[in-house]
Structure 1
Amino acid sequence: MTAEQNPAPRERDRAPKQDRSRATRQRLLEAAVACLAEHGWAGSTVAVVAERAGVSRGAAQHHFPTREDLFTAAVEYVAEERSTALRDLFPDGPADRRAVVAALVGLYTGPLFRAALHLWVAASNEDQLRARVTELEARVGRESHRIAVELLGADESRPGVRETVQGLLDMARGLGLANLLTDDTARRERVVAQWAELLEQALG
C-alpha cells in the first residue's frame, strides 16, 4: 500500500481529536450555564465549571481563555439551542396561538433565563462584560422576535403588530422574573390564556 493509500497517523487521528474537542467544549458550556443558574456570577468560576464538566482547568482555559469568554459563549449556546427547540415544536410553521404563547413564555422560565439574568447583573457592574452581553442579548432578542412573528403568523406591515409581538416577549420576560422566587405556574397559565385571546384580536 502506498503512502497516499495509507493516511499518516496524524491525519487519521485528527477527526477523533476534533470530536473530543467539540464534546469537551459542549460539556463546559452546559456546565457553565448550570453553575450560573445555581450559584450566580460570584460563585461561578472557571475552576468550578471545569470540575462540574469533568475536565481540567487548563482544558477549560484552552477553549475559553477568560471567564467572560466562557459565560457569554455558554448563554449564547443555550439560547441558540432553545430557539432551535422552539422551532422544532412547530415544524409546520404558524400554529395555535395559545400553544405558541406558552412555548415563548417557556423560554423565559427555565435555567437559561436564570443564567442570563445573573449575567446581566454582573454586566451592569463590569464594563468589559457589559459590551459583550449587550451585543449577545440584542442578537438573541432579534431571533426571538423573528421566531415569534413567524410562529404567530403575524403581519408586521399592519399598524401595531410589531409592538404587540414585542409586548408579548416583554410580558414573557416579566413572567420569567416572577418565577425566579416562587412557582408562578397557576398565574402564568391564566396570563398565557389571556394573551392568546388578545393576540387573536390584535393579529386577526
Structure 2
Amino acid sequence: MGAVTPADRAPKQDRSRATRQRLLEAAVCCLAEHGWAGSTVSAVAERAGVSRGAAQHHFPTREDLFTAAVEYVAEQRSQALRELPVQGRAAVVHALVDLYTGPFFRAALQLWVAASNEPQLHARVTELEARVGRETHRIAVELLAADEQRPGVRETVQGLLDMARGLGLANLLTDDTARRERVVGEWALIIERTLE
C-alpha cells in the first residue's frame, strides 16, 4: 500500500467541494420553496442526493447550513453584479432590482424571518446581512460611477437599494412586473439626474 499523494487528494477535495456546492444550492431551493419551518437538514440532503451524515460533515448544525446557504447566495449576487457589463446607469438600476426579485432573495428573506424568531440565528444573520448590504452598496456605487462626496448621492444609492428590496418583497405575493417596470424606469431617471 503506497503513500497518499497530493494527486490522490485532489479528486477527494473536488468531490467534497462539489458535495458542499450541491448542499448549498439545495438549501437555497428548500428555503425559497418551503420556508424555514419546512427546511430541514434531511430534506436538503435528500434534494442534494447525499446522506444526512455527509450533510452534517459539511454543516454540523441546521443554522450552519442555512447561514452558509444565504452567504453563498450573497456571494453569487455580488459576483453577478461585478460581472455586469457596463451599459449605462439605467441597465445597472434594472440589474440591481433583478437581484431582489429572484429565488436567491426569496431564500434570504426566509432566513431573515426565521432569524427574527430564532435567537440562535439572529446574531449570525444580522452580521451577514450587514456585510452583504455594505458590499452591495459598494458595488452599486462603483457600477453607477457615483461620487459619494456629493451631497445626497450616498442616500440616493441607498434609496435605490431599499426600493429594490421593497419591490422584491412585493413580488413574493404577486407578479407585479408591469408596475415594477414603470417604477424602475422612474428610478433610473432619478438616478441619472442625481448623478449627472
Segments ≥4 residues shifted beyond 2 Å:
7-12
C-alpha distance in 2 between matches for 1:10 and 1:17 = 12
**What is aligned with 1:127?**
119
Q: Structure 1, residues 84-143: CA drift from partner, whole Å, max 9, x if none?
A: 1122122xx5x4111000000011000111111110111001111000000000011001
Specify the alignment match of 1:71 in structure 2: 66
| 1:142 maps to 2:134 | yes
| Cα shift at 1:12 | 3.3
TM-score for both structures, normalised by structure 2: 0.97
Provide the aligned length of Structure 1 versus Structure 2.
Answer: 195
List alignment gaps of at least 5 residues for structure 1: 1-6
1:16-62, CA deviations, whole angstroms, 9 ceiling, x for partnerless residues? 00000000000000000000000000000000000000000000000
* Paired position in structure 2 for 1:197: 189
**Structure 2 CA distance for aligned equivalents of residues 49 and 186 of structure 1:** 35
Unaligned runs of 5+ in 2: none
Rounded Cα–Cα distance in structure 2 between residues aligned with 1:52 and 1:43: 13
TM-superposed deviation, 1:9: 3.5
- Over the matched positions of the two proteins, sequence identity in percent amounts to 83
Greater CA deviation, 78-87 or 157-166? 78-87
Q: Report the equivalent of 2:147.
A: 155
- Selected match of 1:104 from 66, 89, 96: 96
Could you tell me how far 1:173 is from its partner in structure 2? 0.3
TM-score by length of 1: 0.93
Q: 2:109: which partner in 1? A: 117
